[in-house]
């Protein structure tokens, strides 16, 4: 008979191994996503996406902003399922054609990436994974951190345009509503503060901020910053055909950094949510901490992007792998 001590040790080892087993602990927590999902079916998949993102960035710098916005607009609306990329049909409006998607662009370059993958591995890599991984690589192009992200998502078959307003946080909502909507995805307060740091890059269209300028200037805006904004947005009702905008960060507009937090603490945030973030007692401590430490910002940003990218994905046999990212495969119009 084995000594009691050895028997206990053997049981402890078995229990420990069981608790670490992916089939027991990992699958439920990971929602079916894994690192390097395509290592057998398409070993070059992630390298191809990275290469394409780099090539596109060299030709069109604004593609990196698009990749970053895509992950937010797709994954925040119920699921990371590339429903954002679907074109409108006779029966359904596309998410990308709703008011909330104003300014989103460069969808054609997602197709460029998809075509490169189809040449290597036809029918294998989902548009949902392309959307997420292009955001990962776009963040790097903008000087941000490399964030290891899991793959294995499948594509939805329907647009979710009818629920965009319900799930997608809005820059004119109260900070409580914004925190609640992100909280429903498992993203806590420091994570929300970090995600909004994406406003460090890109631009804000005048139509989104003229209500802070006309008929009266919002007193919360830094008066030294107002002349620049008025110069960029001279009309109370911007011409919808004119591309009128203000850079989110005049100092480092093409770099994802913590300058955003210093700007909003100095009342230079363009959107209402920027102002609220810097002044609400729940978020201000994290704003100040990120303004002081880019490492802390990157750490929280990486964690929040990971959570966002894993929001309720379709995996296994759910959904499909689209042949083209803007169109669901045939014969599935009525399927969930």
> Which pTM does this prediction carry?
0.88
Mean pLDDT value across residues 288-313: 98
332 is catalytic: no
Rounded Cα–Cα distance for residues 44 and 121 (Å) = 9
169 annotated ligand-binding residue? yes
DSSP string, 114-130: HHHHHHHSTTTS-HHHH
Asked if residue 57 lies in contact with residue 139, where contact means CB atoms within 8 angstroms, the answer is no
115 annotated ligand-binding residue? no
List 73, 146, 275, 331, catalytic entry? 73
Sketch the domain layout of the chain as residue ranges.
Answer: 42-163, 165-306
Does the structure show a pLDDT above 80 at 25? no
Residue reference for tokens 């049981």: 11
Rounded Cα–Cα distance for residues 48 and 189 (Å) = 35
Rounded Cα–Cα distance for residues 60 and 82 (Å) = 22
Residue pLDDT, tens place only, 180-193: 999 999 999 999 99
Distances (CA, A) of 128 to 27, 83, 91, 220, 311: 19, 8, 22, 39, 12
| pLDDT for the residue numbered 103 | 66
Residue pLDDT, tens place only, 207-223: 989 999 999 999 999 99
Asked if residue 318 has a cis previous peptide bond (ω within 30° of 0), the answer is no
7 annotated ligand-binding residue? no
| pLDDT for the residue numbered 6 | 40
Q: Which CATH class is domain 42-163?
A: mainly alpha
Asked if residue 56 lies in contact with residue 112, where contact means CB atoms within 8 angstroms, the answer is yes
Does the structure show a pLDDT above 50 at 18? no
218 annotated ligand-binding residue? no
280 annotated ligand-binding residue? no
| pLDDT for the residue numbered 310 | 98
Asked if residue 277 lies in contact with residue 269, where contact means CB atoms within 8 angstroms, the answer is yes
Strand partners of residue 155? 320
Which tokens is 179 given? 């925190």
**Which fold is adopted by the domain 165-306?**
Peroxidase; domain 2 (1.10.420)
Mean pLDDT value across residues 275-290: 98
Which tokens is 3 given? 């000594």
| pLDDT for the residue numbered 193 | 98
């Amino acid at each position: 008979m084995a000594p009691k001590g050895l028997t206990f040790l053997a049981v402890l080892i078995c229990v420990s191994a069981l608790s670490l087993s992916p089939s027991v602990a990992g699958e439920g927590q990971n929602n079916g996503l894994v690192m390097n999902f395509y290592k057998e079916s398409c070993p070059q998949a992630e390298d191809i996406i990275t290469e394409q993102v780099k090539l596109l960035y060299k030709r069109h710098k604004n593609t990196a902003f698009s990749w970053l916005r895509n992950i937010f607009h797709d994954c925040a609306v119920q699921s990371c399922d590339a429903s954002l990329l679907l074109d409108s049909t006779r029966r359904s409006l596309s998410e990308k054609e709703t008011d909330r998607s104003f300014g989103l662009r460069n969808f054609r370059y997602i197709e460029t990436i998809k075509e490169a993958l189809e040449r290597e591995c036809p029918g294998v890599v989902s548009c949902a994974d392309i959307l997420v991984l292009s955001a990962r690589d776009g963040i790097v192009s903008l000087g941000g951190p490399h964030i290891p992200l899991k793959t294995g998502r499948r594509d939805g078959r329907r647009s979710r345009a009818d629920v965009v307003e319900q799930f997608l946080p809005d820059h004119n909502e109260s900070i409580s509503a914004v925190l609640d909507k992100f909280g429903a995805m498992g993203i806590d307060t420091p994570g929300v503060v970090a995600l909004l740091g994406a406003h460090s890059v890109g631009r804000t269209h005048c139509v989104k901020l003229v209500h802070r300028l006309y008929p009266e200037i919002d007193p919360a805006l830094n008066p030294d910053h107002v002349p620049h904004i008025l110069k960029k947005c001279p009309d109370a009702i911007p011409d919808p055909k004119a591309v009128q905008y203000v850079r989110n960060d005049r100092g480092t507009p093409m770099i994802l950094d913590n300058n955003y937090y210093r700007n909003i603490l100095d009342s230079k945030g363009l959107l209402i949510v920027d102002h609220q973030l810097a002044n609400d007692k729940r978020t201000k401590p994290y704003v100040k901490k990120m303004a002081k430490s880019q490492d802390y910002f990157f750490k929280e940003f990486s964690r929040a992007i990971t959570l966002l990218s894993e929001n309720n994905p379709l995996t296994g046999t759910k959904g499909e792998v689209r042949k083209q990212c803007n169109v669901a495969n045939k014969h599935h119009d009525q399927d969930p």
